[in-house]
Structure 1
């Protein structure tokens, strides 16, 4: 009978103990696999939810210092370059085009309306209001209160229509359906936005081409807001790619979205790994106690093996083989259980939108983790078994 057969027979004779040992390892490995799956899904999900909605980079016209006259005016002179509609295609052909989701160009200008100053913003309504889903219209005829960006209302503002911020509507004493004239051109208030509590409440939104023609600035832009998918790169990389494609522009990354995403994932990761560490520690203790109990029960058996010529290393090999065989199966079961928990419970535990996909690349690390944990926890029981004096062990016969 070889060492492998001895170890296999021992496992068969002590099924309950080995099942208990396997259970501890399965729980530990499943926890780690589940946490890793959920963290990876959070990277994708939070990246999509934050980067898809709301700008995370802004392109502004680049200004360059030309001259400093210390003897005359002591003033700096700047050459301010311009952004135009011709820059839009450059964004989609840039080196970071694969990360670009929404491009929203804008032309901003102060206008006079009935002897009052107001800030008018020309936008491409479909891009602008898709990029900002928190915009919703106040109740008006034919439109339910709080109707949001997914509806055609905000996405398809007519050419002669205006969208007013809540405070702009109050200041100008206007409401949906009213007519007003700006620079000799007649407009109709298409809707009034619900209060946001930000500077956007004071803006007047109109179609970009209409504002460009109204201001006699065809093709001109004040800024371009970019929503980018950036799950696999830092937002600064996108900003650098955009500046390479548009030398006349300065890209400013919006760090809030990126930092929020990173901090959220980091907090969950710390909690998840701390929980995994505690479960693995418990699993290691289960293995240690189970193997020690097994060694104590087999004192006479070990004494017989030593008496018929088994060396200490042979006894240790038997212990390690038992732990190894159980741990390999436990690693496979732990991977399956952890993946199922992540797939079915992950979206609820971490508030993830969408499905969590299976990650086959975690199978081998799961088996390696289980085997390594079992072997390390069996070192002391194996040493204790190998150190038994055969004469003392045989006294119990």
Structure 2
């Protein structure tokens, strides 16, 4: 009996390249005709307000999801015109399904995709293509998913240019010489975890937002010296806590998904470019978080029972500890003796000098107005143009996408 040898990706030759290295379209005339099916998916991530606009059919260009479905089907039929070495196929089936991605903590309604590990929302596109023929239909399914996502981007880009198309991938294929291939069940529908890299220790850049796992021994306090842009001058290490000389603090406050983290990230980069040494503190309002890298030595210490973990290298240190109650902000700020300003994300009720971030002005989860956060300590309101045109507040309004103007507001506060 003739047993077909198992395929080996390291020994197989590329079928679209001949012995001279020239590209070619594969001759499939001798292959058997079989029924072939391929399933693929892709996701487009966006601001929650953009997702709501699409679901409420408020997009100026019309029905976004209906247009994206049609575009995906059209793309599947024209894949051979886009991908050079694809064979033209007489497609027998093309289906495009689009589901909104739920936010973390929301009950999963029928027709919604599960929440992502990173908490971002948007839409998940899943495509199914079929053909009875001599070559596979995977590229048609992948092209349909990609173009459907691109169509959503095109119809919403006027209000959200920061949308991202991610996780375009094949889920399943049937038929042909290789038979059935299916992506592992653990991979389907899940966002890939961000790699921790080979560095021993903890990544603190946005870690409180990005951490997907909540450990039983919740990590409550953390501090670290970040890696600053290279300069000739040595970077000073933080001194002992000094509550008598508090560092200037500016809080960025706003409701969930208002765009605080994105804006803070841009302002950090701009202030650093101007030569201002920046520290940050993120307030995590939930039960706990984990910022360590699973499997690393420090992580193993914590999981063995250490209540206070520290790690030190030549250019960085970090520590985190379990506490019985939330560590007061003042205790954290007293350690920031090596920076010119601390940007705090959150702490709405702390009475700090603040910049209110209100992309749309409404918190959809609470039905509250972001404008209620404006007080006598507010330096500016960062919002979109539509909101700025229809409100009257006694503080300057700044375009939420203009990090230069926001950095100017922070710098003016520092010069007082």
| Shorter-chain TM band | under 0.3
Query: 1 or 2, which has the higher strand percentage?
Result: 2
Please give the TM-score of this superposition, normalised by the length of structure 2: 0.20
